[in-house]
Structure 1
Amino acid sequence: MNTIRLTIAYDGTAYIGWQRQAQGASIQQLIEGALAQILGETVVLHSSGRTDSGVHALGMVAHFRTERNLPLAAYREGVNRLLPRDVAVQEALEAPADFHARFSARGKWYRYALYQGVVCSPLLDRTAWHLRGALDWTAMEEGARLFVGTHDFAAFRSSGCEAKGTVREIYAVDLVREGELLYINVRGSGFLRNMVRVMVGTLVEIGMGKRPAGDIGRLLEGGDRCQAGRTAPSRGLCLMEVWY
């Protein structure tokens, strides 16, 4: 039995998310369908996590197992010929038999993009949250530092989150400015559903002066989702990398 590890990139705008569902097109469904054509058998992709509808990825990792012995090029070039242009396998590798895309992961890097141009950019509309008006970047950085460390992130998850535990470790939250684009990079051991988007929404409210930077500490201690900021739009979020 061969274990094949794939690194996948996609524009999530047109999809219901990573996970296969009863209705709607998912990334998992598309790639499993292409693999079935290549292999002549049904395979199940196990991913490093699930991205929601509209969320993008440059470094989603998934694996599957097969008894077929095809060249690795079949799992990249071959599969990509069967995929739409907004989804692509970036890399295909043989992995150890005990590799698991989710359970072997050591951490993830998510990036959220904010666009502050006066006029909405048609080229960024699918991949960034357009915000008008100034943001207090210093206050946002102050708030971002409070996320770093091991905390209970119950206040920063969606109501539909099914995770049994809410404690996660955040390695770093970095804010980077590139012209009119502002990037919020979040690196951590793992994430709850919508966690990064709620973190971003709360930081944006700090930047707008709607709450103090120190509110982050209060929210981490209180655990009340209703007290945290809005969930930032999915289009600005991208899974950049998964570490093993």
Structure 2
Amino acid sequence: MRLALAVEYDGSSFRGWQQQPGGGTVQDALQDALRQFAGVPVTVVCAGRTDAGVHALGQVVHLDTQLERSMFAWVRGANTFLPAAVAVRWAQIVADDFHARASAYSRHYRYLLINRAHRTGAWHGKAGWYHHPLDVAAMQAAADLLLGERDFSAFRAAECQAISPVKIMRRAEVRRFDDLVVFDFEASAFLHHMVRNLVGSLVAVGQGKHSPEWIAELLACGDRRLAAPTFAAAGLYLAAVRYQPHWGLPHTAATLFLPGAFDSCVTGRAG
């Protein structure tokens, strides 16, 4: 039997998603909790790996098991053994050919950036910070140039293991809520550090260092060395992973409340 689980976590104290020597990853915590619940070792496959310090509202994983329990029992059982910073939100039986990563239609990442002269206290570890005023209209004009099928080599980390740098960007939005600037990106898939590199370059546009057209130039040349530095991990969230309706995954609102606004992301069906 194959199960899909939706997982949310505060990545501040973890060494990223993927299991590695020495432990301390979200995958380690989740697999250990599932092992304690199931009584046997359990291996999970995720929809998208997150780096150290990156958070998730709607990570999706799948696992294979012979243990027959209710979906409520899987959620409650896993959460009993998980640390406070990680929680399973739902469990769902899926077809044997479902794959959390390969079956995904798109991923939605959100980056939160405090934009004011003085650093944040309440948002520490949950948002990035930039002290110079930013022109959000210019940043949005630049973000519009990211839409469609593009080669994102200029925003790809040197250690990225993706086979192809070409991805389909379906959404690229920059909005301001008082001192908070919110970046939303939805694409078929993302390269290593791609969102944080995009944010860094859009911030450079917002500060006036470059025109919005600079983003198109970076896409055309594909040279990572010419783009802005990678932005901090703290403000990045894997907001949702979307799948086509035939997989039958639940509609689940993964709401991240913003000052002055209520906005939600949906983990589950594409639409």
TM range (shorter): over 0.9
Q: CA deviation at 1:67?
A: 0.8
1:158 equivalent in structure 2: 157
Q: CA deviation at 1:32?
A: 0.5
Q: CA deviation at 1:96?
A: 1.3
1:219 equivalent in structure 2: 218
1:34 equivalent in structure 2: 33
- Please tell me the residue identity of whatever aligns with 2:57: L
Q: CA deviation at 1:24?
A: 3.8
State the SS of the aligned residue for 2:234: helix
1:122-162: CA deviations, max 9, x gaps?
Answer: 22011111111211112111110000010100110111101
1:1-244 correspondence runs (5 A):
2-244=1-243
TM-score (norm 1): 0.97
What stretches of structure 1 of length at least 5 have no aligned partner? Answer: none
TM-score (norm 2): 0.88
Which has the bigger relative contact order, CA under 8 A and spacing at least 6? 1
State the SS of the aligned residue for 1:234: coil
CA distance in 1, matches of 2:31, 2:41: 8
1:171-218: CA deviations, max 9, x gaps?
Answer: 010112222111000011100000011000000011111112111111
What stretches of structure 2 of length at least 5 have no aligned partner? Answer: 244-271
RMSD over aligned Cα atoms: 1.0
CA distance in 1, matches of 2:210, 2:15: 33
CA distance in 1, matches of 2:65, 2:98: 14
- Please tell me the residue identity of whatever aligns with 1:60: Q
CA distance in 1, matches of 2:224, 2:172: 20
CA distance in 2, matches of 1:240, 1:3: 23
1:23-71: CA deviations, max 9, x gaps?
Answer: 2401111110111111111111000010000000000000100011012
Number of aligned positions between the proteins? 243
- Please tell me the residue identity of whatever aligns with 1:49: G
